[in-house]
Structure 1
Amino acid sequence: MSVSYLVQAEHAQAAMFCRTFDRIIDGSRNVFVRFDKEYAYGEAHDAWKEYAKTVGESAADLLSADVGVSEYGEKENSDLIERYGIKTADFPQYRLFVKGTSGLGSPIAYTGAAKTDEFVRFVQEKAGAWIGLPGQIKELDEIAKEFMGSTEQAALLQKAEAAAASSTQDTAKYYVKVMTKATGDKDFVAKETTRLKKMMEESSVKPAKKEQFGRRLNVLSSF
């Protein structure tokens, strides 16, 4: 049995093989596993590759693993999908094994859309492993998550302004702008999200601008 997986490190992302799946999910690390047919392709596959790349470029305490299942011949890795009650007709399937748990038999099933940003949000929420989508800044992201439901928005805004002042990323000021607007309009985040999504659909918008809007939407998703 072979399991292909991607190891996330500060400067590298390497494809490797491991004979024992249980060694990978021994509870010493967060592991997000995709179970799919042996030679996967298509939009879901592309989204997963982009997710693994995003994780690989971060310093997240997280491993992304691929279990390719063959339906013919020796039916490689079919024992693993049987263990977790996965049917080939439902491929791709995803399971999160959380660090510090005896995860061999109790992974968390992912049931969302096969989209890169959705994978990221799921892992951040369930494993507490901050990855960061393009445009997101960890320190400001943490403030943003507190902001909308807080009674101390003024103090959080000041904290965000200080953090943004020391950041070189172009979205730092956008975090502050969103917080400032949202202080007087609790629906601002929802309205701004709708506005940017609509603008991204316009054919006249240049690719660079769409990229900027995408980064801003990632920031908005943190609130």
Structure 2
Amino acid sequence: MAFMVSKVLIVAVMVTCMVQVSRAINAKGCTPLDSWTFDKVIPRFAAAMVKFDVAYPYGKKHEEFVKLSAAGRGSPELLVAEVGVKDYGDMENVDLAERFGVDKEQFPHVLLFVKGKEQPIIFQGEFKAEELKKFIRKNSVVYIGLEGCLETFDRLVDRFMATKSSPDRRVLLREAEDEWDKLRSPSDHKIAETYVKLMRKVLEKGDDFVITEKTRVEGLMAGKKITKEKKDEMLGKLNVLKSFIHEEL
């Protein structure tokens, strides 16, 4: 009888812990990690973006990290997580912060853990969701696209811009046109059209066209008379343009 009661209690504790973790994920927007779970969870993913922060984070930077977490849910190889550090009371996760050389003055401090690499990579760019995405793409094999981008076409563009051979580029353009024809979603079809048109322009005018067009679109977006709908459309095109510029990825 005592054994049965103990077993029930253990199950109840496990369920309670699972509920608490679930609530924490829903509240914070990303997976919470601590000293006990960190080394058990991180190795399971090809890449893990981890934010070290105060125990109950808030503000614009935290909101941008939550956006990253939402965008990364479609990638099973990516973990977007958070370590809440308390330097008072029970000193929760202070050992983790010390282990990776993170000081509270640096909060929020983001590290990218890539499978196969011994040391994490420190994120030092502008704390925006799109910049965090580009950082992941640049430093790992995990795909996480910018808003308004498509993985198939991003990967074709990577190959397209990596070669300077016009015949090879024409082959890749043809692949992009074929992929464009396969799409049934009107929104994806329109995005694919942007990729194909830009690839054609690069073939016609050279790589410098991308920089010129990016500058032009940014100038239009800065205009005061532009509508929100048009601005959103241009933001999508701007993100597609960034896929053509390797140094920004």
Asked if TM exceeds 0.5, the reply is yes
Alignment match, 1:10: none
Residues 1:205 and 2:226 are matched in the alignment: yes
1:213 counterpart letter in structure 2:
M
Q: Is the 8 A contact 2:45 2:79 kept in 1?
A: no
Q: Structure 1, residues 69-114: CA drift from partner, whole Å, max 9, x if none? A: 1232222111111000111111111111123x375xx212222221
Q: Structure 1, residues 141-168: CA drift from partner, whole Å, max 9, x if none? A: 1111122231121111111111111123
Residue of 112, 136, 146 corresponding to 1:133: 146
* C-alpha distance in 1 between matches for 2:173 and 2:103: 48
1:90–1:14 CA distance, 2 compared to 1 (3 A)? closer
2:203 counterpart letter in structure 1:
T
Flag as ranges the 4+ runs of structure 1 deviating above 3 A. 2-7, 13-19
1:193 counterpart letter in structure 2:
K
Question: RMSD over aligned Cα, in angstroms?
Answer: 2.4
Q: Structure 1, residues 25-47: CA drift from partner, whole Å, max 9, x if none? A: 23554211000112222221111
Alignment match, 1:21: 38
Gaps of 5+ in 1: 8-12
Residue of 212, 216, 220 corresponding to 2:237: 216
Q: Is the 8 A contact 2:32 2:81 kept in 1?
A: no
1:48 counterpart letter in structure 2:
F
* C-alpha distance in 1 between matches for 2:225 and 2:76: 37
Aligned length: 213
* C-alpha distance in 1 between matches for 2:211 and 2:93: 44
Question: Which stretch shifts more, 210-219 or 16-25?
Answer: 16-25
Identity across the alignment (%)? 34
1:14–1:40 CA distance, 2 compared to 1 (3 A)? closer
2:69 counterpart letter in structure 1:
A
Q: Is the 8 A contact 1:34 1:92 kept in 2?
A: yes
1:6–1:124 CA distance, 2 compared to 1 (3 A)? farther
Q: Structure 1, residues 115-158: CA drift from partner, whole Å, max 9, x if none? A: 11111111122221112222211111111112223112111111
1:182 counterpart letter in structure 2:
V
Superposed displacement of residue 17, structure 1: 6.2
Residues 1:122 and 2:156 are matched in the alignment: no
Q: TM-score, normalised by structure 1?
A: 0.86
Residue of 146, 165, 173 corresponding to 2:159: 146
Greater fraction strand: 1
* C-alpha distance in 2 between matches for 1:102 and 1:134: 28
Superposed displacement of residue 60, structure 1: 4.0
Q: Is the 8 A contact 1:3 1:21 kept in 2?
A: no
Q: Is the 8 A contact 1:6 1:64 kept in 2?
A: no
User: Bigger radius of gyration, 1 or 2?
Assistant: 2
1:1-223 equivalence runs, <5 A: 19-56=36-73, 58-99=74-115, 101=116, 103=118, 106-150=119-163, 151=165, 152-167=168-183, 168=185, 169=188, 170-185=190-205, 186-223=207-244
Question: Which stretch shifts more, 210-219 or 66-75?
Answer: 66-75
1:205–1:191 CA distance, 2 compared to 1 (3 A)? same
* C-alpha distance in 2 between matches for 1:182 and 1:30: 32
Superposed displacement of residue 14, structure 1: 7.4
Q: Is the 8 A contact 2:33 2:81 kept in 1?
A: no
Greater fraction helix: 2
1:121 counterpart letter in structure 2:
K
* C-alpha distance in 2 between matches for 1:14 and 1:149: 34
* C-alpha distance in 1 between matches for 2:78 and 2:70: 12
